[in-house]
Amino acid sequence: MIIANLVREELEKMDDRALGAACFAPLINAYKEVEGNGGDFVLTVYNRLSKGQQALFAFWTYYSHIRESKADLYWWSAYFMAIPLRWEALQASLRHVGDSGTLEIVKAMEAALSERGHPRSITNFNVSFDDLDNDKELSAIVSGHYDHLLSALPATLGSIAAYIRAHPDEFIIVRP
């Protein structure tokens, strides 16, 4: 089982983001190890994770890429959309932890990008971070979603942390 190993005192002091990050760390390390050795993380590890761990992994991989800038939100949203199972897992993860705010923004991004003909397959993925510099209308749309996302993320992190705290056995071994 891939779970975080935390000292009780550390756990009790962690804020929502730190708790999510601590529980995500062993998952991303497993991902990097499997994929770095030519394996398939989804087939060998992800499908064996608990539903909560799958939700954390799907959300946190998206979150860790999109929070830095509107260009990151644009590119990574388009990338996730181009891999339908990944996009579906992201949405399922938000539903799993009971977060509707970020889910609405993710769906709004999907609608906006789909309307603009973004690829639905990774084989014809031609999105660039520079697209926003070259398309002011697209930039304005993404900027609005990015602002909403920044407002929604604290509640999302709170929902994830609440789920972890309610189901610690899925995520944590607590040492005295």
| 133 vs 6 pLDDT, higher one | 133
Task: Report which of 65, 68, 112 is spatially closest to residue 90, judged by C-alpha positions.
Answer: 65
pTM here is 0.92
What average pLDDT does this structure show over 141-168?
Answer: 95
Alpha-helical (H) ranges within the chain are 8-13, 16-36, 41-44, 51-66, 70-81, 84-96, 101-115, 131-134, 136-166
Instruction: Kindly state the DSSP code that residue 128 receives in the 8-state scheme.
Output: -
Bridge partners, 6 (sequence order): 174
> Contact at 8 Å (CB) between 58 and 31?
no
**Domains of the chain (ranges plus CATH)?**
7-169 (1.20.1420)
Q: How far apart are CA 134 and CA 41, in angstroms?
A: 36
Q: How far apart are CA 114 and CA 101, in angstroms?
A: 20
Mind listing the pLDDT tens digit for each residue in 88-109? 999 999 999 999 999 999 999 9
Mind listing the pLDDT tens digit for each residue in 110-146? 999 999 888 778 998 889 999 999 999 999 999 999 9
Residue 21 has pLDDT above 80, yes or no: yes
